[in-house]
Amino acid sequence: MKQPKDFFKPLAIGAPEPYRDLPVALERMIHFFPPHIEKMRAKVPAMIENVDVLLGNLEDAIPVDAKDAARQGFIDVAKATDFGQTGLWTRINCLNSPWILDDVTEVVGAVGNKLDVVMVPKVEGPWDIHYLDQLLAQLEARHGVQKPIMIHAILETAQGVKNVEDIAAASPRMHGMSLGPADLAASRGMKTTRVGGGHPFYGVLADVKDGEDDATRVLYQQDLWHYTVAKMVDACVSNGIKAFYGPFGDFADSAACKAQFRNAFLMGCVGAWSLHPQQIDLAKEVFSPDVDEVLFAKRILDAMPDGSGAVMLDGKMQDDATWKQAKVIVDLARLVAQKDPVRGAAYGF
């Protein structure tokens, strides 16, 4: 087992010191773009103000004959653009693919100082993180990268879910994790062809009431992803890293996308992927705290300045536990206000 004192040592001589805490960042949506398509690269500068994170996708959805062009396109756009406070991420190909080594070495070599996070797909266990951790440190050292490039794992294999706690704790380089419902469904042998969201057959059948028969009994649809999201949130938060819901594939069903995002938000996720421009606004709406909740949370903090004791507000008891809940909401609202002045004004900042 690694000695605790070594955990925060750089893994290569000359690589930056690992973070002890995650840098503070608003990451309500990770917006994917396909960097091999020139028209999409051209839209990047205009998108920066509108999204929290921009991710150049090199993995699934990029055709095999466009893998090199996607990598080069990502490097070109990263070099040419000032991303300001907006996060710059890439999703590399998986660790057993023929493209990963070029993805990591070329991207870090060319734009390592601009890259915030590498998203790595199909992570099965901590050994995958250890490999990438070491490789990133070597490349950071070689190319004089000044701040650590973080790792974000996609939770999308049955084995990954089994090992989720060890993955979350594998390295101080871990930023967080996203649920990958499409690959996870395939890996587990789940009987759905959807990318995220519910399934009409997955539910609980209500008891037969007087006058009803099987034809009129109600089936209450359940959330297929509840167990995995809960497990992921516990693994991440207990290790000081962030949990995200991943993709929602039915672009025509905004209501269902919003409901899935909202379940994730309520359970502790801080963001989700946006694969279509309209999902950016959905994510902003869902992952920014509700105005009434923020105003009430501010009243709790005002009523209990040092967070101790108990007070009544509008007939509801507040104590140090609700003070902590209120602080989570107000801290997030402050972060949103910096990026989004209209919401900030509604929160009263």
- To the nearest whole angstrom, how small is the minimum distance from the Cβ of residue 228 to ligand GLV? 11
- Give dist(CA 86, CA 83) in Å, integer: 5
User: Backbone phi, then psi, for 134, in 5-degree steps?
Assistant: -65, -45
- To the nearest whole angstrom, how small is the minimum distance from the Cβ of residue 183 to Mg ion? 4
Q: Is 27 in the site for ligand GLV (CB under 6 A)?
A: no
Give which of ligand GLV, Mg ion, none residue 56 binds (C-beta under 5 to 8 Å, depending on kind). Answer: none
- The residue within the footprint of Mg ion, chosen from 56, 87, 126, 180 (CB under 5 A), is 180
Give whichever of 197 and 246 is closer to ligand GLV, judged by the CB atom.
246
Q: Is 264 in the site for ligand GLV (CB under 6 A)?
A: no
- Give dist(CA 319, CA 324) in Å, integer: 9
- To the nearest whole angstrom, how small is the minimum distance from the Cβ of residue 121 to Mg ion? 5
Q: What is the contact mask toward ligand GLV in residues 88 to 127, using x (rule: CB under 6 A)? A: ---------------------------------x------
Give whichever of 32 and 323 is closer to Mg ion, judged by the CB atom.
32
Q: What is the contact mask toward ligand GLV in residues 208 to 247, using x (rule: CB under 6 A)? A: --------------------------------------xx
- The residue within the footprint of Mg ion, chosen from 27, 140, 183, 340 (CB under 5 A), is 183
- To the nearest whole angstrom, how small is the minimum distance from the Cβ of residue 182 to ligand GLV? 3
Which two tokens mark 68? 């090199």
Residues 138-157 that bind Mg ion (CB under 5 A): 156
Q: Is 156 in the site for ligand GLV (CB under 6 A)?
A: yes
- To the nearest whole angstrom, how small is the minimum distance from the Cβ of residue 202 to ligand GLV? 17
- Give dist(CA 8, CA 203) in Å, integer: 46
Q: What is the contact mask toward ligand GLV in residues 174 to 193, using x (rule: CB under 6 A)? A: ------xxxx----------
- To the nearest whole angstrom, how small is the minimum distance from the Cβ of residue 237 to ligand GLV? 21
| Residue 269, CA distances (Å) to 33, 79, 92, 145, 149 in order | 22, 31, 22, 30, 22
The amino acid present at 46, given as its one-letter code, is A
Q: Using CB positions, name the residue nearest to Mg ion.
A: 183
- Give dist(CA 1, CA 228) in Å, integer: 28
Please state the length of the chain: 349
Give which of Mg ion, ligand GLV, none residue 271 binds (C-beta under 5 to 8 Å, depending on kind). Answer: none
Q: Which stretches of the chain bind Mg ion, using CB under 5 A?
A: 156, 180, 183
Q: Which stretches of the chain bind ligand GLV, using CB under 6 A?
A: 121, 154, 156, 180-183, 195, 246-247
